[in-house]
């Protein structure tokens, strides 16, 4: 756990270009080992105060083979998530999710984050994103392709 926490802190410093103001604890957050793949992630809009330049909205367009998986309890569990996501005991807060896009066989879809916006976290592996509601409930996991988290943001 200490190693994972250290990696999460390192990711936070890399992404935000500053030391964390505090380190919080999740209230019973469990990252499930499987979920329902909704489609290929195409983009995400998130709000972040990275680089201490004030709060800004960022749009990231995902490359090919990036998966968007719902891990909400009411969804069937048909897709196993990779170990580099499910084994994460610590996460680094990247910002707040505003909305995301994904492509299904039926066509493009938009997930709008309404009400209390879920927070966007990165896994210590730098290869997974998790939307978390109220520090308690994982909603969506995004991973795959060449997506990774770097100092300049989410990249493919």
pLDDT tens sequence across 32-59: 999 999 999 999 999 998 877 789 999 9
**Cβ count near 154 (within 10 Å):** 23
Taking the C-alpha atoms of residue 56 and residue 75, their distance in angstroms, rounded to an integer, is 32
pLDDT of residue 13: 87
Structure tokens at 117: 């916006």
The list of the chain residues with pLDDT below 70 reads 1-4
pLDDT of residue 5: 78
Query: Could you please report the per-residue DSSP string of 85-145?
Result: HHT-S--EEEEEEEEEEEEETTEEEEEE--SSPPEEEE-TTSSEEEEEETTTEEEEEEEET
What is the pLDDT at residue 11? 87
pLDDT at 2: 59
C-alpha to C-alpha distance for 20 and 11, rounded to whole angstroms:
10
pTM: 0.92
Domain that residue 47 falls in: 2-155
Domains in the chain, number = 1
Q: What is the CA radius of gyration of the chain?
A: 14
Q: Beta strands 119-122 and 92-104: pairing type?
A: antiparallel
109 vs 153: CA distance, rounded Å: 24
């Amino acid at each position: 756990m200490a190693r994972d926490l250290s990696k999460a802190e390192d990711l936070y410093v890399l992404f935000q270009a500053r030391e964390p103001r505090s380190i919080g604890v999740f209230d019973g957050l469990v990252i499930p080992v499987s979920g329902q793949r909704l489609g290929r992630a195409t983009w995400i809009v998130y709000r972040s105060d990275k680089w201490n330049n004030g709060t800004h909205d960022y749009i990231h367009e995902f490359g090919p083979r990036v998966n968007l998986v719902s891990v909400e309890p009411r969804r069937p569990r048909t897709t196993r998530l990779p170990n580099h996501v499910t084994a994460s005991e610590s996460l680094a807060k990247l910002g707040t999710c505003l909305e995301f896009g994904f492509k299904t066989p039926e066509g493009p879809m938009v997930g709008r984050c309404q009400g209390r916006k879920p927070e966007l976290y990165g896994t210590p592996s730098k290869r997974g994103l998790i939307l978390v509601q109220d520090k308690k409930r994982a909603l969506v996991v995004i991973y795959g392709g060449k997506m990774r988290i770097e100092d300049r943001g989410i990249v493919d």
